[in-house]
Every structure is written in C-alpha cells, then in structure tokens.
Amino acid sequence: FFKELEEGPCKFIKGTVRGGTRILYEGNVVVLGDVNPGSEIVASGNVVIMGTIRGMVHAGADGNRNAIVAALRLHPTQLRIADLIARCPETNEDAAIVPEIASVKDDIIYVEPLGK
C-alpha cells in the first residue's frame, strides 16, 4: 500500500485548522481534527487528516508524486499532489464517513476508499 515510503520529519497538529491558517512544513503533516475552508496545508511529504478536509491541501510540494493525502472525509476546495491539481466533485456531506486516500497514478490524481 505504501511501497517505498520513507519516514521522515512529521508535524502533528492537534485540533481544527481554522480558515485563514496556512501550514507549511518540510515533511509529513498529520492533523488530529478538521481542515476548514480558507485554510491551507502545504507539505513536502504526505498529509493525513483525522477529520474532514474542506480547505486546500498540497502534498509532495517539492515535486514528490509518491506523496498521498488521506482523510476521513475528502471535500477539499483544492487538492494538489506535486505539480498536479484536482477538485473533488460536489457530494452530500451527510453521507456516511468513508476514509479516502488520494494518490497519483498515470499522471492523474485518483481518490479511492482507504483499504480498497
């Protein structure tokens, strides 16, 4: 699942990332909460959100296309991995929580249920 994943520096953020907040980190970022609209997370490594993403998330900001974005709910305003950009489709936020992971395959960002 995470082949050739190298552990590196990791920043843990406890709580919700509020709108207007920008987090920049050279490494992996783990948020123990939600990422609200108007907020940004930019990491050179992976981004893992133990909540809902509603803001902008950029994993692999240094060009690492092997980076991933994982969350309990993926509803970002914009999702970036390396130099690729995607917007998630409009969905019903009242639907069941299904953890998802975004990764790059064939130069396209794919979002699929975690563990599939």
> What span, in angstroms and rounded, lies between the C-alpha atoms of 3 and 56?
26
The pLDDT assigned to 114 comes to: 84
Place of tokens 């639907």: 95
The one-letter code for the residue type at 114 is: L
pTM, rounded to two decimals: 0.89
**For residue 97, which of 56, 55, 54, 51 has the smallest C-alpha distance?**
51
pLDDT tens column, 85-111: 998 766 666 667 889 999 999 999 999
Place of tokens 């690492």: 64
